[in-house]
Amino acid sequence: MATSNTSLQTIVDEDKRGRVMGLYALALLGVTPLGSLLAGVLTGWAGVTATVLAVVDCLVGAAVFAYQLPRLRAAVHPIYAGMGIVPEIATGMQAAAEAIRPPKG
């Protein structure tokens, strides 16, 4: 979640950042109760089997998205490189990896 939040704030133009983050928060936090409500209604209307199949469909959609993620990363990489962010990310990742390692000795 932190990565997607940071990525959005980095890619979006500064004058549109508030709008985009508002929509992100709505999509992430605001729709969750509606999904639970929808699952309950679907269970009551179509049964447990149909609800489980709907969840499986969502998981398949997530798998398709994960499969296409490398292409999305390749499309975003030039934007990051143009903004000079790629070297900063590499430095930050290296610092985080070193912070996780136990001290030698």
Q: Is residue 102 part of a domain?
A: yes
Q: Is residue 91 part of a domain?
A: yes
Residues 30-44: pLDDT tens digits? 888 888 898 899 999
Percentage of the chain modeled with pLDDT above 90: 29
DSSP per-residue string spanning the chain? -HHHHHHHHHHS-GGGHHHHHHHHHIIIIISHHHHHHHHHHHHHHH-HHHHHHHHHHHHHHHHHHHHHHHHHHHHHHHHHHHHT-HHHHHHHHHHHHHHHSPPP-
Q: Is residue 88 part of a domain?
A: yes
Q: Is residue 77 part of a domain?
A: yes
Domain count, the chain: 1
Q: Which domain holds residue 100?
A: 47-105
Q: Is residue 23 part of a domain?
A: no
Residues 42-55: pLDDT tens digits? 999 999 999 999 98
Residues 85-100: pLDDT tens digits? 777 666 776 777 777 7
Q: Is residue 11 part of a domain?
A: no
Q: Is residue 29 part of a domain?
A: no
